[in-house]
Amino acid sequence: MRVGRAALLSVAVAAFLPVAAQAQAMLQPPPKAMPANPTVDQNDWYKTGIIYEVYPRSFADSNNDGIGDIQGIVKHLDYVQSLGIDAIWMTPMFPSPQADFGYDVADYDNVDPQFGTVADVDQLVAQGKGRGVKVLLDFVVNHTSDQHPWFQQSKSSRTNPYRDFYIWRDPKADGSPPNNWASIFGGSAWTLDPKTKQYYYHFFYPQQPDLNWRNPKVEKAMFDAAEWWLKRGVYGYRLDAVDTMFERTDLKDNTVYPGVDAFGVPNQDHVNNSKQPEVHTELQRLRQMVIDKYPGRILVGETWTSDASELVQYYGPRNNELQLPMFLNLISLPALTAPDLRQRITGVETNSVGGWPSFALSNHDSRRAASRYPLPAGASTDDWAKITGALLLTLRGTPVLYYGEELGMVNNDPQRIEDVQDVIGKKGWPKEKGRDGERTPMQWDASTNAGFNTGAKPWLPVAPDYKTRNVAAESADPHSVLNFYRTLIALRRTHPAMSGDWKAVDTDDKQVLAYQRSGGGKTVLVLLNLDSKPADVPIEKTDTMEIVRPLAINRALLISGSIHLDPLGVYVAEITR
């Protein structure tokens, strides 16, 4: 039993709602068509917006070849619109040998035929526009594919004009790599080119050589590529792997730590080949010279920072860098506990003065949130999906949802190495099983292949729960994860408090994360029990605070003078101030 703090969580007993009325409140169907956001300034659309990450390979396969494609996304734009999404972030669909499923780009100004054509992207942009859904692309800035013509030129001779597009260094006297930097995808970060007898540098796979951003010609070529899509109506970019755009030119060795990574390489700190100060100056130039020429266009960052103070550097000194550096630290937490979340969210809130926060809990590189944490007794995967959705959708910052998160989709990890598609899974098996599990096909309905297609075997197996966990089934079930998300999204888009401040309440509680959103003269209270035991939040008669209206509830009841929350219980209600 939790001891509540009267001043913070007290609600007047006069406002007691019978259990049936609360159940009714949570059964309210979300609106069919989402109302328009009360946008502050059109160029600030992202502040009231919700971004939805689409992994094109896995979303919907329109031509039945087993691989999702752009027309598949076009086909489902009505669904995306009905969810209340303001922008999709489409992960790379550029021509690519697919060594890293598109994060190895061979031509920034085109589309891989397996995903479609430039005309398909134009259609996606136009049809999205008609539905209020903007399109963001994924700009892979750190590296290209080794099949990119720039690299083909670069490796052809030491004197080729493109040689300095990449990072080439001589071997050490004994022929070994220039330093001890390791690739985070296994092995040395250097690969020897036998023809020109120099090593090239790659933070990721050898098929992903790092660009040399110190070369002004690289900047020009990449800025041109960014602009090419903006001119076509794309609304901006999620920037891939920004931390690693620069490395120290003196090639200082990284400090090595005890133990080895999943690939058997000694652990090291990557301090000399990531998060260099030049990253910020370069991103500010991209913002100023390209993005700001087009009103309303934004940059979202794949910013894996160690804490909020590091994160805020990505806003730039005058908010002139990234509009949305994603705070990804919640993903890395080994457990979602109230104290850890409170500390991190408060950190973002207090540090990001002038900048706008953005949070994500799942993506194509991380286990899906609904199956990431242990299940408390009596709770289900749906409950994890609901509490993580309630968190993400009631915070102040822009939420970045991952396709299927709104269904409570779970990881479907390969069981045998021979089934693995993601190369890091093949190289690191069994310690690192790769990222296939979180990339399985979107679950649309109960038909064969979950409605992903009606043809060839999908590139990854559909998760076994698809017969019940799918858009069609969940749409018809008032208690589903999907309808819970729809309720929360409608709340986010319509309730004035959701455009206002965020404030933690009851700052010592170890079980329940409690906070208020206040704006437009209204306040919403959010209680999330992240503990494996039930919690009770007492109600004080004497206080002025009252529950006006329960808004979204799961495994929680207002009863006998307390809000009772079962493990993973969610209670969101409008209260008087």
**Which residues bind to ligand NOJ, rule: CB under 6 A?**
100, 103, 140, 204, 240-241, 302, 364-365
Q: Which residue, 67 or 400, has its beta carbon nearer to Ca ion?
A: 67
Q: Which is nearer to ligand NOJ, 140 or 504 (CB)?
A: 140
65 included as an active-site residue: no
* Shortest distance, position 229 Cβ to Ca ion, whole Å: 21
Residue with the two structure tokens 């799961």: 554
Neighbours of 221 (CB within 10 A): 16
Catalytic residue flag (residue 349):
no
Task: Name the binder of 100 from ligand NOJ, Ca ion, none, CB < 5-8 A by kind.
Answer: ligand NOJ
Instruction: Write the burial class of residue 231 (CB in 10 Å: 0-12 exposed, 13-18 middle, 19+ buried).
Output: exposed
Q: How far apart are CA 432 and CA 17, in angstroms?
A: 50
Q: How far apart, in whole angstroms, are the C-alpha atoms of residue 546 and residue 313? A: 40
Q: Which of 104, 240, 321, 506 is catalytic?
A: 240
- First-to-last C-alpha distance (Å) of the chain: 26
Q: Cβ of residue 68: shortest distance to Ca ion, in angstroms?
A: 6
Q: Where are the alpha helices (DSSP H) in 451-503?
A: 471-476, 481-494
Nearest one of 70, 143, 51 to 110, comparing CA atoms: 70
Nearer to ligand NOJ, 11 or 331 (CB): 331
Identify the DSSP state of 335.
S
Tell me how many helices (H) and strands (E) the chain has: 17, 19
Position with the least CB separation from ligand NOJ = 103
Query: Nearest distance from residue 514's CB to ligand NOJ, in Å?
Result: 33
Q: Which does 61 bind (CB under 5 to 8 A by kind): ligand NOJ, Ca ion, none?
A: Ca ion
Total Cβ atoms within 10 A of residue 354: 10
List, in sequence order, every residue forming a beta bridge with 119; answer none if it has no partner: none
Q: Please pick, among 302, 321, 432, 438, the residue that the annotation labels catalytic.
A: 302
CB 432 within 8 A of CB 263: yes
Question: For residue 318, what are the contacts with CB-CB under 8 A and spacing of at least 6?
Answer: none
Tokens of 215: 């070369």
Nearer to Ca ion among residue 61 and residue 243 (C-beta):
61
Comparison of 329 and 351: residue with beta carbon closer to ligand NOJ: 329
* Smallest gap from residue 143 Cβ to ligand NOJ (A): 7
Q: Which does 67 bind (CB under 5 to 8 A by kind): ligand NOJ, Ca ion, none?
A: Ca ion
Q: Which does 69 bind (CB under 5 to 8 A by kind): ligand NOJ, Ca ion, none?
A: Ca ion
Q: How far is the CB of 527 from ligand NOJ (least distance, A)?
A: 33
Query: H or E element: which one contains 341?
Result: helix 338-351
Distance of CA 227 to the CA centre of its chain: 24
Residue 430: is the preceding peptide bond cis (ω within 30°)? Answer: yes
Residues that bind Ca ion (CB under 5 A): 61, 63, 65, 67, 69
Decide whether 73 or 505 has the Cβ nearer to Ca ion. 73
Instruction: Give the DSSP letter of residue 273.
Output: S
What, of ligand NOJ, Ca ion, none, does residue 240 touch, CB below 5 to 8 Å by kind? Answer: ligand NOJ
Residues involved in catalysis: 240, 302
